[in-house]
Amino acid sequence: MREKLNSYFSYVFEDELLDEIVQVGTYKKLRENELLVDLGDQIKGVPLLLNGAIKIVREDKKGEEMLLYFLERGDTCASSFASALSSGKCGIRAIAEKESEVIFLPVEKLDEWLVKYKSWRNFVIDSYNVRLNEMMETVDTLAFMKMDERLYKYLTDKAQIMRETSLNTTHQDIAYDLHTSRVVVSRLLKQLENEGKIKLYRNKIEILEF
């Protein structure tokens, strides 16, 4: 575990903190599409993402979904701090987009480490800021962009997160993430294909232009 942690976090955390994490953290490997956090879940620990990609989704009462953002290596789920400390509910769903490795940190340590480690304070504050900025970008997307732009942004963002130039997905799945209908997605994808930006296959979309 120490090695896996080092691969990214050795530049983020002090050595003593890394040691503590190894001692109290629990390692978990997530399968593709594994559910990490569900809507009303009580958070058991704060996840540190070692590698992979995790999708964070918001859902309303009627069960309608909306993608908020993706987590990458080095990220943590800031709103789990919330639920962890105020022991409230989470309000989001987290799903592994591909095989991923995480370390869960026990809730009790969070406050203790804020006092003890400057690198932990920086990490926590930084995580919140990154997350707030992501949320602002999500708002920008919804408020200022039309569906065709949103779709193209979605495809290129996701390709980057997944480190692939083509995505294995269906039109219906995209429609869920963007909170629109399958027909609309098919229509706009076809349009993007005609513009030469992507190429469509069954269950697969190749991105030609970033």
Residues 128-187 that bind DNA (CB under 7 A): 146-148, 170-172, 179-184, 186-187
Sign of CA dihedral 149, 177, 136, 160: negative
Say how far residue 5 (Cα) sits from the centre of its chain: 19
Q: Which residues pair with 28 in a beta bridge?
A: 102
> How many residues contact a copy of itself, by CB under 8 A?
37
DSSP codes joined into one string, 10-36:
TTTS-HHHHHHHHHH-EEEEE-TT-EE
Binding a copy of itself (rule: CB under 8 A), the pick from 81, 104, 123, 152 is 81
Nearer to DNA, 70 or 176 (CB): 176
68 binds, among DNA, a copy of itself, none (CB under 5 to 8 A by kind): a copy of itself
Contact in structure between 12 and 73 (CB atoms under 8 Å): no
For the chain, what's the residue count? Answer: 210
Q: Pick one of a copy of itself, DNA, none as the site partner of residue 183 (Cβ within 5 to 8 A by kind).
A: DNA
Which residues contact a copy of itself (rule: CB under 8 A)? 58, 60, 62, 64, 66, 68, 78-79, 81-82, 85-86, 91-92, 111, 114-115, 118, 121-122, 124-126, 128-129, 131-133, 135-136, 138-140, 142-144, 179
